[in-house]
Amino acid sequence: MTKVKSTTVLAVIHNGEVAIGADGQATMGNYVAKSNVKKIRKLQEGKIVTGFAGSTADAFTLLERFDEKLNAYGGNMKRAAIELAKDWRMDRYLRKLEAMLITADKDELLVISGTGDVLEPDNQIAAIGSGSMYAQSAALALKKHAPGLSAEEMVRESLNIAADICIYTNHNLVIEKIK
């Protein structure tokens, strides 16, 4: 059975604003299974936003676990991410999940992977998924050469550039902000 996969999530912190966005495409093998998947979720009454790439069912499992960890650790995003990564690496069932998460609050971005990594990306830009390097490159350029743009505008433009290049990324964008 071919797994449904979802791609290209980008988060940017710029001038005190946090924005995270994703395209809407889910692929199954080599065809588009759905074009309007919502890969961005708000948690903790909107104080934390997450985005996922990878197998959709696996990502939802991880999002549920991450939300449980947030509740267990009083909304402390970094602690919840570290505890999720530890479980993900140690638990036999979780270890088989194929997804990655970006989490963001008003102060920081984290990338959580199934290998036990919790990364704080450089330049306050995080990207995951098949179009991630296109989106990240565009965001880096915009941050450097168009600092007057908002974080939301940077995310939108960068994801659109990724969608123009990556066949697994489309222009059906969902973007959320934290101020």
Phi, psi at residue 29, to the nearest 5°?
Answer: 70, -120
166 is an annotated ligand-binding site residue: yes
Are 9 and 21 a contacting pair, CB within 8 Å? Answer: yes
Burial letters for 100-109: b for 16+ Cβ neighbours within 10 Å, e otherwise? bbbbbbeebb
Q: What is the 3-state secondary structure (H, E, C) of 23-76?
A: CCCEEECCEEEECCCCCEEEEHHHCEEEEEEEEHHHHHHHHHHHHHHHHHCCCC
Q: Report CA 76 to chain centroid distance, whole Å.
A: 18
135 is an annotated ligand-binding site residue: no
**What distances in angstroms separate CA 128 from CA 143, 146, 155, 171, one per listed residue?**
18, 23, 13, 16
Catalytic residue flag (residue 7): yes
Of the candidates 7, 8, 27, 56, the residue annotated as catalytic is 7
Are 126 and 11 a contacting pair, CB within 8 Å? Answer: yes
> CA-to-CA distance for 45 and 133, rounded, in angstroms?
30
169 is an annotated ligand-binding site residue: yes
**Binding site membership: which residues?**
163, 166, 169
| Catalytic positions, written as ranges | 7
**Binding site membership for Na(+): which residues?**
163, 166, 169
